[in-house]
Structure 1
Amino acid sequence: MAATAVAGGVATSLWLTGESVWFALPGRAAEFELPHAAALSDLLEAILAGGSVTVCTQCAARRDIGPEDVIPGIRIAGAAAFVEEALQDEAQALVY
């Protein structure tokens, strides 16, 4: 969904939480395969090129993931950053 939004010119911010934070590490998205779906690494690259990707602070901490561990361009941030983004004028949160 996020990659499609970026391709459509929509300002997009993807937040990774829970087990999905592992995909913020180099090479991890390339290891994931889902039949009949685009490669996750390609989708992540597209989102980074036209939007932003954030890893949940607590989710990262629970897995001993730090800023030095994630793909360049991905940030680790918490609830305050999410609320700030969600409350921007004309922002719309879509959880899928």
Structure 2
Amino acid sequence: MRSLVIKCTAGGDDPERCNQAFSVAAAAVAAGADVSLWLTGEAAWFGMPGRAEEFVLPLAGSLAESRDLVLEHGRLTVCSQCAARRGITEADLVEGARVAGAASFAEEILADGVQALVY
């Protein structure tokens, strides 16, 4: 099975697109894929404790549960530039999440057997 790297570029500003990224990441983890979820733009806030828990979208699953599933079985990364613009540091993130930049993202998506999706 290929590895999957998902970049979520939307947060509360576009809740359906944001939820889709988290849902696909959780579904891929459940299917046994190696999943890396990147949070960029307004999605960066969901790397912080309590933020995903506040997310509400009718008929959608829990963003926090999807995030936690990815943290347990994959990787959760917050974009370094996006974090810096919002005053978010690695110490502010949920346990297991990290801050990394474009070079790390490029390295992940250019590896053999990787599928990248952007929401």
RMSD over equivalenced CA pairs, Å: 0.7
- 2:76 counterpart letter in structure 1: V
2:60 to 29, 37, 59: 37
* Identity between Structure 1 and Structure 2 (%): 56
RCO higher in structure (CA 8 A, sep ≥6)? 2
Name segments (4+ residues, structure 1) moved above 4 Å. Answer: none
* TM-score normalised over the length of structure 2: 0.78
1:20 aligns with 2:43: yes
- Count the aligned residue pairs: 96
- 2:64 counterpart letter in structure 1: S
- 1:55 counterpart letter in structure 2: V
Instruction: Select the structure that is richer in strand.
Output: 2
Q: Distance in 2 between matches of 1:44 and 1:76?
A: 15
Q: Distance in 1 between matches of 2:103 and 2:74?
A: 19
1:73 aligns with 2:76: no
* TM-score normalised over the length of structure 1: 0.96
Q: Distance in 2 between matches of 1:80 and 1:6?
A: 24
Give the corresponding residue for 1:95.
Answer: 118
- 1:19 counterpart letter in structure 2: E
